[in-house]
Amino acid sequence: MNKYLKLLNFELNRFFKIYLVLIVLTVVLQMTAVIVECRQYLKQANEMIYGMNASKEQFLADYGQMSFVHIVTNGWFMWSIAICAVTLIIYVFFIWYRDWFARNTFAYRLLTLPTDRINVYLAKATAIFLMVLGLISLQLILFPVEQGIFRAMIPDDFRQDLSTADIITFSKYLTVLFPGTLIEFVARYGAGLMVVLVLFTAILFERCYRFRGIFFGAGYCALAAGIFLSPILIEMFTEKVYLYPIERFFAEVALGLFVSGMSIFISRFLLNYKIRV
């Protein structure tokens, strides 16, 4: 446990610089989104009201009030989220491959530490998970700050104030990252962690069996997906509904735990007996 925490701390520290860049990038891009979007709206309003002598009511009738949903659907804003998502997805692979292919093969050291090797795997998985949660929290902190700027820039009459929850619901794509209920949140991020564990196991297949391992890894991913999605797949193919939604939910939770456990078990075996440095 102690060594696991040390490894986790180490993995987080290793990614810290890139992570800091990500955070700064997110803040900058989202602030840009707020300012660009507000300015554009104000420019339109100014052009209509002062340039074309339209009344305030006329402008609002044509363009409507501005809400924060305008901002979260702005390109800069969506880029910030896409960049973070893509970086973390790449890092799922990079977190392993850097130990083999960086200038120095750190895998030698990592796999000869006086601790169970599975701790390396678990620490890496936890690190990814915490980094995702970190960015999610950052977003939740950023929302009120950005809304403050938004309120400061747009006069009351032109502004439609929405709660963060409403913004997320109206933006549609943000509901993927921020589900409405706690249970959904846990289930979704739990499933995310499971995907990371499955991908890690696939990576280990590749690291153990190299070229052949790519196929084993892909096969393993397919198998994991098949198991996890089996309730849905069965219903799809037989075109019958066997389960109530709540039952399906619990079946998915059970299968998710099973797939995660299987991934850890197989990875433990691969790390202990089959790994190649």
Partner 1 sequence: MIEVKNIKKKFGRKQVLKGVSFTAKKGEITCLIGVNGVGKTTILKAIMGLTPYYGGEILINGKRINKAAYEKITFIPDAFIMPSSMKISEAMAFMKDFYAGWNEERARELLEFFRLKEEDRIANLSKGNVAKVNLLLGLALDADFVLMDEPFSGIDIFTREQIAEVFTSHLIEDRGVIITTHEINDIEHLIDKAVLLDEGIVVKEFAVEEIREREGKSVVDVMREVYRP
- Greatest pairwise CA separation for the chain in angstroms: 78
* Shortest Cβ 7–partner 1 spacing (Å): 8
SS3 73: coil
Closer Cβ to partner 1, 105 or 160, answer by number: 105
Closer Cβ to partner 1, 115 or 169, answer by number: 115
Residue 78's closest CA among 131, 145, 139? Answer: 139
Closer Cβ to partner 1, 17 or 240, answer by number: 17
Residue type, 101: F
SS3 244: coil
Closer Cβ to partner 1, 14 or 159, answer by number: 14
* Shortest Cβ 14–partner 1 spacing (Å): 7
Binding site for partner 1 (CB under 8 A): 3, 6, 10, 14, 102-109, 111-117, 208, 272-277
Closer Cβ to partner 1, 107 or 203, answer by number: 107
Long-range CB contact pairs, 142-150, < 8 A, 24+: 142/26, 142/27, 142/30, 143/167, 146/30, 146/31, 146/34, 146/68, 146/71, 147/68, 149/31, 149/34, 149/35, 149/38, 150/34, 150/38, 150/68, 150/71
* Shortest Cβ 201–partner 1 spacing (Å): 17
Residue 66, φ and ψ in degrees, nearest 5? -95, 135
* Shortest Cβ 117–partner 1 spacing (Å): 8
* Shortest Cβ 213–partner 1 spacing (Å): 12
